[in-house]
């Protein structure tokens, strides 16, 4: 197994609705303390953790492909499974797919200086419909923008990996890997990020800089043109 290339996808995530980042998708916990946004401890500004974006990308693709097995992420480890190839087979250490291909960086805030807003939420009693337990939650306001950066590693074993692009054309190799990642980002636009997406929170627009989709750094001794023989 040999790493051939490292691609970097860059872009921007813009919030189209208030977003709770770092909270859980569970129903509001009574007396819960998980009501603040995740913030960078050095700048005090909110950010989108790479792990949470990656999780949303993965679960969105699994739903789209019908690879949802209860609450567990896909761990089938089949050579043609885009989820397992790109994100790694869940809880499956005995596979031949190689390392996880995707590296999702934390997305820092790039605009929206006063991006935090407070919103009052309450839980409605199912029997009477009365609002109970009002609480204030922190959200990142619509309009805030975050910088997206995703690394994609290509290995020699990806040569035969195929995926269908948005034009219904079959692409292979690194084109297929990049297509899977971009497809996941499209699906995240449909579903949203953070907690409370069912209530309309976390709607996002994701713009990918087209030229960066193929930004490639040749690895020393891999993928680069052979050194001139002396
Ligand atoms: Zn799988």
In a domain? residue 127: yes
Q: What is the pTM of this model?
A: 0.83
The CB density around residue 43, as the number of other CB atoms within 10 Å, is 10
Q: Report the separation in Å between the CA atom of 102 and the middle of ligand 1, taken as the mean of its atom positions.
A: 15
What's the CA-to-centroid distance between 83 and ligand 1, angstroms? 5
**Residue 224 counted as domain residue:** no
Task: Determine phi and psi for 210, rounding to 5 degrees.
Answer: -60, -35
- What range does the domain containing 193 cover? 3-218
Q: Is residue 178 part of a domain?
A: yes
Asked if residue 62 is part of any domain, the answer here is yes
In this predicted model, what pLDDT tens digit does every residue of 103-130 receive, in sequence order?
999 999 998 776 788 877 777 777 887 7
Q: How many domains does the chain have?
A: 1
Q: Is residue 227 part of a domain?
A: no
- Containing H/E element for 173? helix 173-191
Q: Is residue 225 part of a domain?
A: no
Q: Round to whole Å and give the CA distance between 49 and 111.
A: 17
Distance 179 CA to ligand 1 centre (A): 17
| Residue pLDDT, tens place only, 89-110 | 999 888 999 999 999 999 999 9
How far does the centroid of ligand 1 lie from the alpha carbon of residue 227, in Å?
Answer: 38
CB 146 within 8 A of CB 204: no
Q: Report the separation in Å between the CA atom of 97 and the middle of ligand 1, taken as the mean of its atom positions.
A: 10
Helix, strand or coil, per DSSP, at residue 114 = coil
How many Å lie between the centroid of ligand 1 and the Cα of residue 104?
A: 19
Q: Is residue 228 part of a domain?
A: no
Taking the centre of ligand 1 as the mean of its atom positions, its distance from the CA of residue 165, in whole angstroms, is: 19
pLDDT tens track for 150-202: 999 999 999 999 999 888 899 999 999 999 999 999 999 999 998 888 888 99
84 C-alpha to ligand 1 centroid (Å): 4
Report the phi/psi class of residue 180: left, alpha or beta, with left for phi > 0 and alpha for psi in -120 to 50: alpha
- Provide the 10 A C-beta neighbour count for residue 69: 12
Write out the two tokens for 3: 């790493």
Task: Give domain status of residue 29, yes or no.
Answer: yes
Distance 185 CA to ligand 1 centre (A): 18
Residue with tokens 């290995």: 155
């Amino acid at each position: 197994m040999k790493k051939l290339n490292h691609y970097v996808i860059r872009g921007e995530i813009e919030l189209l609705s208030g977003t709770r980042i770092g909270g859980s998708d569970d129903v509001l916990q009574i007396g819960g303390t998980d009501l603040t946004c995740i913030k960078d401890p050095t700048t005090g500004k909110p950010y989108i953790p790479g792990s949470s974006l990656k999780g949303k990308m993965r679960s969105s693709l699994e739903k789209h492909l019908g690879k949802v097995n209860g609450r567990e992420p896909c761990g089938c480890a089949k050579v043609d499974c885009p989820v397992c190839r790109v994100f790694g087979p869940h809880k499956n250490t005995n596979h031949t797919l190689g390392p996880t291909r995707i590296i999702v960086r934390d997305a820092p805030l790039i605009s929206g200086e006063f991006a935090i807003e407070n919103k009052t939420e309450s839980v409605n009693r199912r029997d009477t419909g009365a609002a109970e337990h009002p609480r204030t939650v922190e959200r990142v306001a619509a309009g805030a923008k975050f910088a997206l950066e995703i690394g994609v590693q290509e290995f020699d074993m990806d040569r035969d990996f195929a995926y269908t692009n948005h034009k219904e054309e079959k692409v292979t190799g690194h084109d297929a890997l990049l297509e899977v990642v971009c497809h996941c980002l499209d699906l995240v636009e449909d579903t949203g990020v953070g907690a409370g997406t069912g209530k309309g929170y976390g709607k996002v627009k994701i713009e990918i800089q087209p030229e960066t989709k193929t930004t490639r750094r040749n690895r020393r001794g891999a993928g680069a043109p052979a050194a001139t023989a002396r």
